[in-house]
Amino acid sequence: MSEIFVYVEHFQGIVSDITYMCLAQAQQIAKSNGGNVVAVLLGHNIELLSKDLFADEIITVSHDSLAEFTYDPFAAVLAKIIQDKQPGLMIFGDTSIGSDLAGGLSARLHLPLVSFCKEIKAEEGKLRFVAQICGGKIFAEGDLKECTSLVTLSPGKFKAKDGKTTTTPKVSAYSLPAFEKSRITLKEIILPSGEDLDISKEEILIGIGRGIENEDNVSLAKELADALGGELCASRPVIDQGWLSTSRLVGKSGKTIKPKLYLALGISGAPEHVESIEESEMIIAVNTDPEAPIFNIARYGTTENLLDISKELIRSIQKVKGG
C-alpha cells in the first residue's frame, strides 16, 4: 500500500482529538496493509504541534498566510502536496474544516471522496470503507479506488490516545507553493462565552433530550444533577429551545464528552449525538421507547418515564445521604 496521509487539524495551538483518531485509523491500515503514515501539518508557528503525532513522517508547511484556517490557501497547498506525493489515501476528520477541504479537493483534483466513514478496513490488499449516511440511518460499504482516495472519518471507532506517540517522527518541511490571494478574510473568531462550564471536563453528566418535554421539567433534571454531584448537558432540541446554554450542547455541533457517568434522559441516540458520547465510561439511558438507538450504546437502561425515574432517584439519593 502506498502512503496514508492524515490532515492535522488544530486550533489555538492544540491538535484536535479527531486528528489523533484519524492517525489511529491510518496506523491500523498500515499494520495490516503496509505503507507509511504521513501527517500533513499546515499553519504558522506549528513546530510544537508535531511532537506526539503517531506517524512515520510529518510534512509541515509553515507560513503566516496559514496562521488561521481559510479554505483557499489550505486547499491550494494540500492540492500541491497530493499531486506531488500521490498518497493512496488521505484521511480528514469529519468536521466542518475536514469536510470543507476534502469536498473541495475532491472536486478540484477529480479524486473520489467518501464522507462520514466510520472505519476503513484493509481486506486482502484492498481498502473497504463503512460509512454512515442519511443521518446515520444507513451503513454504506464499498471498496476504495486505487488512485488517491479522500475520506472524512467520524469519531467513534478509534480512540485519540491510539494516535499519539512519545517518539517524535521525522519532520520534513515542504515549501509553500504559489497560490492566488484568498477570497475569504478571517475577521474575528468568536469563542463561546467563558461564563459557563466546560462539559468536556465534567465527570458526571446528566443529558436531557426532547423527552424532557418542557422547560419546567429542566429544574427536576437539575435537582437530580445536584443530588448526583454532576452537571446538566443536552441534545440539540433542548439547546435550540434555549432551555440550556449552547456551551452545554453534546454532539456534532457541540462538545465531545468523556465523563465517568453519562445519564441520558429522554435522548433517542441520533448519530450526531452518539458520536460525542462514545468515550463516556458508563452510559445509562432512560427512554420510554425500547427501540431507541441510545440503548445500543448504553450499559444500563430503563423504559420508565424519565420524570418518574428522576423523582425516585432524587428521593433515594437523599435517603442514602440521610437528607
Ligand X SMILES: Cc1cc2nc3c(=O)[nH]c(=O)nc-3n(C[C@H](O)[C@H](O)[C@H](O)COP(=O)(O)OP(=O)(O)OC[C@H]3O[C@@H](n4cnc5c(N)ncnc54)[C@H](O)[C@@H]3O)c2cc1C
Task: List interacting residues with ligand X (CB under 6 A).
Answer: 135, 209-211, 235-237, 249-254, 266-268, 270, 272-273, 286-289, 292, 305-307
- Give me 276's grid cell: 460525542
Q: Which residue, 80 or 210, is less far from ligand X as judged by CB?
A: 210
Any residues with CB less than 8 A from the CB of 264 and at least 6 apart, and which? Answer: 207, 209, 277, 283, 284, 285, 286, 287, 294, 298
- C-alpha distances in angstroms, 176 versus 64, 115, 318? 11, 28, 63
DSSP 103-155: HHHHHHHT--EEEEEEEEEEETTEEEEEEEETTTTEEEEEEPPSS-EEEEE-S
Name the residue with the smallest CB distance to ligand X.
251
**Closer of 83 and 303 to ligand X (Cβ):** 303
Return the number of the residue (79 or 261) whose C-beta is nearest ligand X.
261
Q: How far is the CB of 305 from ligand X (least distance, A)?
A: 4
| Closer residue to ligand X in complex, CB, 103/237 | 237
Minimum separation from the CB atom of position 207 to ligand X (A): 8
Give 19 or 268: the residue with its C-beta nearer to ligand X. 268
Least CB distance to ligand X at residue 102 (A): 16
* Residues facing 91 on adjacent strands: 6, 151
Per the rule left: phi > 0, alpha: psi between -120 and 50, beta: everything else, 166 is alpha
Least spacing, CB of residue 116 vs ligand X, in Å? 11
**Shortest CB 254 distance to ligand X, Å:** 4
